[in-house]
Structure 1
């Protein structure tokens, strides 16, 4: 698929965006006065591109700003520190990722991005840590930044609460109890990633991306992005549109577990990144990936498989699905073994 160059982002008018904006005011707690209305909007977005913005989400802007500051500091650490804490050395896939280490689109060149991964700090005696399940275990932290673990833990806990509320609204959007998915979040797999994209190379060919076209692997992604833009979303008609940064909003997209859970009713659409509009500056983004409990069963929810028909997707556990995705894009034997 040949990429087309989108227009440079301008000050976003939420009413003119091709991706809908969901206002969560009055819908942030179960039985909130606007929960049903927001659930209807979520359903429409999920049946289209699987992307939407959220505003009035109750996440402190200062917390997000501190996380961006930490991202810049982490990714400016010396090469020797970053190599010592490379995710290649971590059975839980935590730590630094260098430029070109991941290829999200198999038909494209290696991704032009570098990042730092961390996740929930489950204790060593947690049964999933003891079992060696993918993503459960310790983080790798640079000694130069002693405040980093606590800062990331605050951000993770805040994003986890928002993710779990969005899953409740999703359940409501499917005609289910708001609490239908609650039992799948007992020991969730969550990953926080801080990413830096260099400016798009001058004269780059059509196979060069900061992040190649891909769908996300889990249930939900909540993205904080800087003002430069660069995220592009494939719409149902095959066109690519810019997910222009909107002040005070996160971009949310559905991952591949959601089509499995909804028998294809809800979509996980491809997206990609090209840092075209930063004037040569790096682009930073902070995606938070929410996946349910490793052993949560992913199979169609009630009402999504017509009578007499076979489900479109084979049932699996969340952990099986996620481990296979890691293996495909990183070529990691460890991920396959953990499944």
Structure 2
């Protein structure tokens, strides 16, 4: 996607902050250890997640950042999934400001895309209005070191997986490495970087909603560039209390839904826990 309206200067500033963070000593990054956050926000070291079942842990490190919620917010008090305070190092006000601006702009963009999705499914433009209300969002800043010369069997930067939620808007650097699965040709295709663009992925929630009329995008990362790779996926998961049930325009006569209705938060918890338990 190009022509998205996200400020180029903001993207450049945020990318610089992210690269600076990942170049810090490990002990400094671990001050933001995600495992200490009740909201799953903060730093995740390399090999902490396994996205592809049966594969070695992923060769990536990340920083999870969401909307900023204080301790008194009702969603925080109720310990809702991914709702809470972000974790920051001292003297990072510029980083925080750029991140908050980026998340705001990306949320507006994702909301607009949900309107287009509705129209593509022969639904009213505002069909997803309630889903878009106070949505759960997550920005993951990721760093992939170069692929090892002698990797373990099936070891890669990011194992083959589909995203969990609604929409993913991915900003990738110039070094490439992202691959998507072509179901028809049964082969992996390189998603080559296009300057100024976002990769748009449909997540598992969209598959569920559309009875697999639209399918979530199977993808993986193998950083063969020989350089450090940086990317920033933005995950738009919608209102945690919204019920995802098969859309009326996605069932033919006498066809039954493949999936039972589910709350957004319940769906996200199930998908999230699977990738951490198996690793």
Pairwise TM-score range, normalised by the shorter structure = over 0.9
Distance (Å, rounded) in 2 between the aligned partners of 1:219 and 1:123 = 25
The answer to whether residue 27 in structure 2 is matched with residue 80 in structure 1 is: yes
Out of 136, 160, 168, which is 1:189 matched to? 136
SS at match of 2:250: coil
Give 1:244 shift.
Answer: 0.3
Which runs of structure 2 are paired with 1:191-210 in the superposition (5 Å)? 191-210=138-157
Distance (Å, rounded) in 2 between the aligned partners of 1:80 and 1:151 = 24
Structure 2 alignment gaps of length 5 or more: none
Out of 224, 229, 238, which is 2:176 matched to? 229
The answer to whether residue 211 in structure 2 is matched with residue 263 in structure 1 is: yes
Distance (Å, rounded) in 1 between the aligned partners of 2:84 and 2:273 = 18
Q: Which one is further off, 171-180 or 78-87? A: 78-87
1:259–1:268 Cα contact (<8 Å) kept: yes
Which runs of structure 2 are paired with 1:138-287 in the superposition (5 Å)? 138-237=85-184, 238-277=186-225, 280-287=226-233
* Residues 138-195 of structure 1, C-alpha deviations (whole Å, 9 max, x = no match): 1101114222221110010011011000000000100111110011122211000110
User: Partner of 2:234 in structure 1?
Assistant: 288
Distance (Å, rounded) in 1 between the aligned partners of 2:180 and 2:52 = 14
Q: Which one is further off, 281-290 or 120-129? A: 120-129
1:74–1:116 Cα contact (<8 Å) kept: no
SS at match of 1:143: coil
2:51–2:159 Cα contact (<8 Å) kept: yes
User: Partner of 1:309 in structure 2?
Assistant: 255
User: Partner of 1:298 in structure 2?
Assistant: 244
1:235–1:269 Cα contact (<8 Å) kept: no
2:123–2:249 Cα contact (<8 Å) kept: no
SS at match of 1:272: strand
Structure 1 alignment gaps of length 5 or more: 1-53, 333-339
Distance (Å, rounded) in 2 between the aligned partners of 1:78 and 1:276 = 24
Distance (Å, rounded) in 2 between the aligned partners of 1:193 and 1:282 = 16
Moved over 4 A (4+): none
TM-score, normalization: structure 1? 0.79
Out of 262, 265, 269, which is 1:319 matched to? 265
Query: RMSD of the alignment, in Å?
Result: 1.3
